[in-house]
A and B are shown apart, each in its own frame.
Chain A
Amino acid sequence: MITEETVLHVAKLARLELTPEETHRYAQELSKILHLVDELADLDLSSSTLELVPEHPTLFREDKQTWNFDRQDLLSNTPEEENGFFRVPKILDEGN
């Protein structure tokens, strides 16, 4: 069962702000969906391991600069730009 507390925690991880109504509703809906998934609990898969044999060879790229994009084109969808930088509101934590 998914509690509202779990919903809030997950929403935080996913950077989604929820209203109290949404929190309540999602808790119910997600619980219902996970009920589907509970079927998987019947399966004993402890002995099976995932084969990690690559069926197809890795696609590589040669170490050459093959393209050049115009910065203006790339920045044309930017909500807020400053001198070719992406501008963001103040950051509160040091991050990683």
Chain B
Amino acid sequence: MNEQSQEGALALHQRIQAGELSALEVLDNTFATIEKLDPQIEAFNCLTKDFAYKTAEEVDKAIKAGQRLPLLAGVPLALKDNIHLKGVKTTCSSKILENYVAPFNATVTNKLCEHMIPVVGKTNLDEFAMGSSTENSAFRKTKNPWDLSRVPGGSSGGSAAAVASGQTFISLGSDTGGSVRQPAALCGTVGLKPTYGLVSRYGLVAFASSLDQISPFASNVQDIAAVLQVISGADPLDSTSLQNVPPMDYLASLDKPIEGLKVGYITELLEAGLQPDTKAAIESAMKTFESLGAKVEPVSLPNLRYAIASYYIIATAEASSNLARYDGVRYGSRLNADKDILQMYLSTRAQGFGDEVKRRIMLGTFSLSSGYYEAYYGKAQKVRQLITNDFKNAFNQFDLLLGPTSPTTAFKIGEKSSDPVEMYLSDIATIPVNLAGIPAISIPCGFDQQHLPIGLQLIGPHLSEAVLLQAASAFESKTSLKNLHPQTLASV
């Protein structure tokens, strides 16, 4: 087990700044841990040693020169394999991009570079970020570090597992319908989805444009605040990025009392379908908030029940369009190049895309097709507005909303993969947040009887990350549920 893993990213960074450890040493340790653990976890699609060591060298040089390091410099990070690192493959865990080398950095990657944060590798995901278990990857199935027979969640399963297993302190994923929060919950880490537009999408391979957000994982709330600080900001290359956000200091929001904070628990999420252990953990969490001085009361989001339907129409419609570019013409795999172009399109896409991706492309194409647009896509957008309004109304009364991140803890590999609908239904708690474009954080709030982590979700209004972090930090301090790593791996 990585000894460093007991500390956290910010603490590690401070030790590097103080000269106690070199960035090089940290990397050596990290890669040693990865080598030891990842054969079983399979969190990584590839490692980026050259890039990482080059960055570490820069850090150590800066230390020697007596310079002040930027935030999180020297702390190794894992990057979901749908975010570009120039010169390295971005596969999206899909056969159609298995040899695609990114010709440019994502904007967030540039920020990581500016902060001298070494990217150690690209992590596994559900193909094109479509899924809730990482079982849809064309290359490998990532295991949940807490129980290797179970899924880590998805689609950012690799990034979640990398942090949970202590291979890296921090990682980046993408969250479209819960793809960072849900794996965070299932893996016992912290995961935060920012307000839509707070973090640039340039260089993130698009799944559903109006829902995607690059989102960080970490083992504790302080670290996640630090990563958010690094990656957020307006981008002239992303028309949907928020342009006039006043500069924030997210680390300053932590460790502030939450006396008087008004928290609403979403009644619809505490109803049927919730695993008993999860329900108990959430109710216990509510009491913890009360003991911290917050006021916890029920709130109803009446249109929540339509969220999944609305999401699956909108997300798949956008996805079907975003994935039309994978045609074998300018990049990516190509099949039947000796026939005619139609055959090339048909074979390339049929063989290059996995089942779930094809299913969603077809659903999306159907929703947009002639005769069905109003009934499906048109209606889904209106429903989206209803859900957004439900949240707005709730935030007139409450500062934050609360609920479980996932109705169940980590399920067994293969358990849900034969029934797509069952898989979709498990996203009920996270999806509405993406539809409304608001921020939310998942933090560990306990374990079930099989010692599998349970996640608590806090949801805030537009640009309320500071309040979310404040509340999460207070909760974390009270419960000490942070830096959680499965002991079972230590013996490996």
- Knowing A57-B243, A59-B239, A74-B103, the reply to whether A90 touches B309 (Cβ < 8 A) is no
Residue contact A89 to B332, C-beta cutoff 8 Å:
no
Which residues of chain B have C-beta atoms less than 8 A from A58's C-beta? 239
Residue contact B382 to A50, C-beta cutoff 8 Å:
yes
Which residues of chain B have C-beta atoms less than 8 A from A15's C-beta? 324, 327, 342, 345-346, 349
Q: What total of chain A residues lie within 8 Å of the partner, measured CB to CB? A: 48
Chain A proximity mask over B74-116: 1 for CB below 8 Å, otherwise 0: 0000000000000000000000000111010000000000000
Interface residue A1 (Cβ < 8 Å from any Cβ of B)? no
Residue contact B366 to A2, C-beta cutoff 8 Å:
yes
Q: Which one of A14, A33, A86, A91 contacts B421 once the chains associate, using CB atoms below 8 Å?
A: A33
- Chain B: CB-nearest residue to A15: B345
Q: How far is the CA of A78 from the CA of B334 in the complex (A)?
A: 9
Chain B proximity mask over A64-75: 1 for CB below 8 Å, otherwise 0: 000001000110
Q: What total of chain B residues lie within 8 Å of the partner, measured CB to CB? A: 62
Interface residue A5 (Cβ < 8 Å from any Cβ of B)? no
Within 8 A of B (CB), among A1-49: 2, 6-7, 9-11, 13-18, 22, 26, 29-30, 32-37, 39-40, 43, 45, 48
- Chain B: CB-nearest residue to A73: B103
Interface residue A79 (Cβ < 8 Å from any Cβ of B)? yes
Residue contact B312 to A36, C-beta cutoff 8 Å:
yes
Q: In the complex, how many angstroms separate the beta carbon of A3 from the nearest chain B beta carbon? A: 12
Q: How far is the CA of A50 from the CA of B358 in the complex (A)?
A: 30
Within 8 A of A (CB), among B351-365: 353, 358-359, 361-363, 365
Which residues of chain A have C-beta atoms less than 8 A from B241's C-beta? 59
Residue contact A33 to B420, C-beta cutoff 8 Å:
yes
Question: Counting chain B CB atoms within 10 Å of each CB, which of A35, A58, A79 scores highest?
Answer: A79
Which residues of chain B have C-beta atoms less than 8 A from A33's C-beta? 312, 359, 363, 420-421, 424
Q: How far is the CA of A61 from the CA of B309 in the complex (A)?
A: 36
Residue contact A11 to B376, C-beta cutoff 8 Å:
no
Q: Which one of B338, B343, B379 contacts A40 once the chains associate, using CB atoms below 8 Å?
A: B379
Q: Which one of A6, A16, A88 contacts B353 once the chains associate, using CB atoms below 8 Å?
A: A16
Which residues of chain A have C-beta atoms less than 8 A from B421's C-beta? 32-33, 35-36
Q: Which one of A2, A16, A74 contacts B346 once the chains associate, using CB atoms below 8 Å?
A: A16
- Knowing A36-B309, A77-B103, A78-B331, the reply to whether A30 touches B366 (Cβ < 8 A) is yes
Residue contact B383 to A17, C-beta cutoff 8 Å:
no
Q: In the complex, how many angstroms separate the beta carbon of B4 from the nearest chain A beta carbon? A: 37
- Chain B: CB-nearest residue to A45: B382
- Knowing A37-B313, A59-B243, the reply to whether A29 touches B358 (Cβ < 8 A) is no
| Interface CB pairs A-B, < 8 A, 7 | A36-B424, A37-B309, A39-B309, A48-B382, A73-B103, A77-B100, A92-B340
